[in-house]
Amino acid sequence: MDDTLDGTGRRVAVVGGGAVGLTAARDLAAHGTAVTLYERDEVGGASTGRAAGILYDAYAEDVDARVGERAIERFRSISGDSEFTFEPSPYVWFVTESGAKADAIREQVAGMQRHGRDVERLTGEELAAEFPAVRADDVVEAAVAWDAGVADTGAYADLMAANAANEGVDVREDTSASVTLDPPCVNGTAYDAVVVAAGAHTKRVLADAGLSVPLKPYRVQALTANGVDSVSSDTTRPMPTFYDATEGYYARPHPEGLLAGDGTEPVEADPEAYDRAGDEWFVADTTGRLEDRLRGYDADVNRAWAGLCVATPDRDPLLGELADGVFVAAGWQGHGFMRAPATGEAIAEQVLGGEGIPAFDPTRFDGDEAFDVVEGMVVD
């Protein structure tokens, strides 16, 4: 954030105590702004607490690359504070069929390398040599981002909440927020600005204020299971984080062993009434894929759950001023946590008079666009 910006004397409300809202609140307060954060449940208890915690800066598009780089930089800078740690974990993605997705990986790698990302293509043989736990005899195109990592999403939320409180943020858990306009108010209290970063509830919060945004929450699933440490005695590297772009699932190292998901349902979900438990079909399909992909692996599932991601028409977030004094930060397509340190910083900067990220300007849409839900990790 630009340290020349001065928020002294301003009063700002942040609606939503997930990773983005907490980061924005902390950054605003660090610049002298009086901040009140409203969270309907507990901080980090919704989408942030159910996120996969995969972190990477491997983006081919220039804006995304800058955002990803800044997010990783900030994650690394706080690693070791309290219970939060950035755990290095190379991110591998691959396909097992020739065609458009294989071509897309090659194009992605070229774009990432132009932006200075530590990314390289791998053959199936090279993938197997680097990460012996992963079966790669059917891989036709692969790539690895070496600067990636994983993290405990709840630990990040707890740290940001503590840092925000230390900076003077009034954190109000178990407090629903009603936003009105002219001037921007929350629950009848007027503020100089209001930031709505309420995840899957953002559309409803803004609609109650008479503002329409093209956001669609959609359900995703994940599970944790035993790890692969004992799979093979010749495994010289731990299992990487990987995404099978042909089958559409991911897996990452986790304190319980491994965490795997996707189970994306490409339809709009009701954030008040969606099923938070993992489906039997998802557990069966995912464990079958893991046992096929990880050499000698026999899955023993610990738990399975569902959470919500939020889609936009162009798969880019809504980040910026939507109406006079009302800002929105939502629509992450499953990449919300991994970019939270940068996007939270950017929206705080814009509230304080900075430019923010113009490419994510929410006014690029009318708010009534029709669009389909597409999973955020798709390779195309």
Q: What is the CATH number of the domain that holds 302?
A: 3.30.9.10
Residue 38: pLDDT band with limits 50, 70, 90: very high
Q: Could you tell me if residue 266 is inside a domain?
A: yes
The pLDDT assigned to 376 comes to 72
The pLDDT assigned to 374 comes to 86
pLDDT in tens, 161-213: 999 999 999 999 999 999 999 999 999 999 999 999 999 999 999 999 999 99
Q: Could you tell me if residue 263 is inside a domain?
A: yes
Q: CA-to-CA distance for 118 and 116, rounded, in angstroms?
A: 6
Range with lowest mean pLDDT among 13-22, 120-129, 262-271, 276-285: 262-271
Q: Could you tell me if residue 265 is inside a domain?
A: yes
| Position 230, amino acid | S
User: What integer is the mean pLDDT of 40-69?
Assistant: 96
Q: CA-to-CA distance for 331 and 160, rounded, in angstroms?
A: 21
The answer, yes or no, to whether residue 266 has pLDDT greater than 50, is yes
Contact 55, 35 (CB under 8 A): no
Q: Could you tell me if residue 320 is inside a domain?
A: no
Bridge partners, residue 150, by sequence? 54, 87
Using a pLDDT cut of 90, give the percent of the chain over it: 92
**What is the b/e burial string over 1-12, where b = at least 16 CB atoms within 10 angstroms of the residue's CB?**
beeebebeebeb
The answer, yes or no, to whether residue 62 has pLDDT greater than 70, is yes
Q: CA-to-CA distance for 231 and 234, rounded, in angstroms?
A: 9
**Residue 106 structural domain:** 88-148+217-309
pLDDT in tens, 120-164: 999 999 999 999 999 999 999 999 999 999 999 999 999 999 999
Q: Which strand (E) or helix (H) includes residue 23?
A: helix 19-30
Verdict on whether the full-model pTM lies above 0.75? yes
The answer, yes or no, to whether residue 258 has pLDDT greater than 60, is yes
Number of structural domains (the chain) is 1
Contact 197, 16 (CB under 8 A): yes
Q: Considering only CA atoms, which of 34, 44, 42 is closest in space to residue 14?
A: 34
Q: Could you tell me if residue 256 is inside a domain?
A: yes
Q: Could you tell me if residue 224 is inside a domain?
A: yes
Tokens of 271: 């954030």
Q: CA-to-CA distance for 14 and 35, rounded, in angstroms?
A: 7
Q: CA-to-CA distance for 258 and 299, rounded, in angstroms?
A: 10
Residue 4: pLDDT band with limits 50, 70, 90: very low
Q: Could you tell me if residue 111 is inside a domain?
A: yes
Q: Could you tell me if residue 329 is inside a domain?
A: no
Q: Which position has the token pair 């986790």?
A: 254
